[in-house]
Amino acid sequence: MQTPSTPAADTLNPVATGPWTVGGVTLSSRMLLGTSHYPSLQVLSEAVAASGTEVLTVGLRRLQPESGGGNHFWQRVQSLGCHVLPNTAGCHSADEAVTLAQMAREIFGTPWIKLEVIGDDYTLQPDLAATLDAATRLVREGFAVFAYTTDDLVTAQRLHGAGCAAVMPWAAPIGSGRGPMNPYALETLRRRLPDAVLVVDAGLGRPSHATQVMEFGFDAVLLNTAVAQAGDPVRMARAFAEGVSAGRNAYLSTPMPERSSAQASTPTVGMPFWHAP
C-alpha cells in the first residue's frame, strides 16, 4: 500500500500527485467528492469532471431504495464512471450503521463503506466508541471501512488497528468550512500513524485548507459542502484539485525548516564591505 513513508514512488509532475492505494483500489486523484447539496445534477456532473475525482460518496438514505426513489440521481452518478463510496450518514448507533452498511453492499455491489456514527446532532461529532465498535464488526464481515472520526489520536490508532482501510479525521465540524482547527493534532496523527491511509473528512472550506492538510502528509481529502455550496461549484472543484496537488507536491519536496530569525537568501561572502562616507 502506498504510504507517505515512500514518497519517491510518487511523481513530481506539477499537476499529477502520484497514485495511491485504498481499499484494494489504486487511484490517481487524491480528492474524494460528496454528491449532495449541488444546485442540479448537471452542476454535479461538471464539478466531478473539473475535480478529476475518481471516488464519489453516496448516501443510501438519499436513494430511498425501498420505495424506488433516487433512480434519476443514481443513474447520473453511475454515468460519471467513478468508484462509489456509500456512507452511513444519519446513523446514531453501531447496530444501525452495521445494518445500513450491509444494505449498501447489497445495493451498490461494493465492500467499500464510509462509516459515520453521529454522537451529537449539534456538532455532528462522531460517537467514537460506537464508531470503533461498528468498524470492528464491519471489517470482520469483509468491508473496506473508511471511518469518519475526530482528530483524537488514540481513537485513530484503534481504528487503524481494527483494520480500517482509511481513517478519516475531521479538520472541523461537518459543513463548517473553518479549515484545520487543530493543526497540531492532525500533524501528530500523520507522525504517529505513518503506515495508515489518512483522509481529512469534513470542515474544509477553501482550497488553501486542502493544501495545508496535504502538506502535513495526508493521503487525500474528502469534500462536499465546500464545493457544492460555492457560488461556482465547478470552478471551486477545479481550485480544490489544484490545492490538493500543490499541497502534495510541497510535502514530497520537503519544505525548508522554520527558523526563529532571519537568514539572508543572497550570499555575502567575498562581497566588499562599503562604509557610508
Sequence letter at residue 249: N
Residues 100/132, Cβ–Cβ less than 8 Å: no
Contact 62, 73 (CB under 8 A): yes
Distances (CA, A) of 220 to 138, 213, 215: 23, 9, 11
User: Does residue 202 have a known ligand-binding role?
Assistant: yes
| Beta carbons within 8 Å of 242's beta carbon, 6+ residues apart | 207
86, three cell numbers: 456509500
What's the chain's Rg over C-alpha atoms? 21
Does the annotation list 203 as a binding residue? yes
Residue showing cell 443510501: 60
Residue 224 assigned ligand-binding role: yes
233 is catalytic: no
- State the alpha helices, DSSP H only, in the chain: 41-51, 60-63, 71-79, 94-108, 128-140, 153-161, 183-192, 207-215, 225-228, 233-252
Contact indicator for 52, 241 with CB cutoff of 8 Å: yes
d(CA 277, CA 272): 15
Distance, in Å, from the CA atom of 120 to the CA atom of 154, rounded to the nearest integer, reads: 20
Question: Annotation-wise, does 71 bind a ligand?
Answer: no
Choosing from 30, 105, 114, 248, which is the catalytic residue? Answer: 114
| Contact criterion met (CB below 8 Å) for 31 and 236 | no
Give the residue numbers of the binding site for 1-deoxy-D-xylulose 5-phosphate: 175, 202-203, 224-225
Q: Residue positions in the annotated binding site? A: 175, 202-203, 224-225
Active site residue ranges: 114
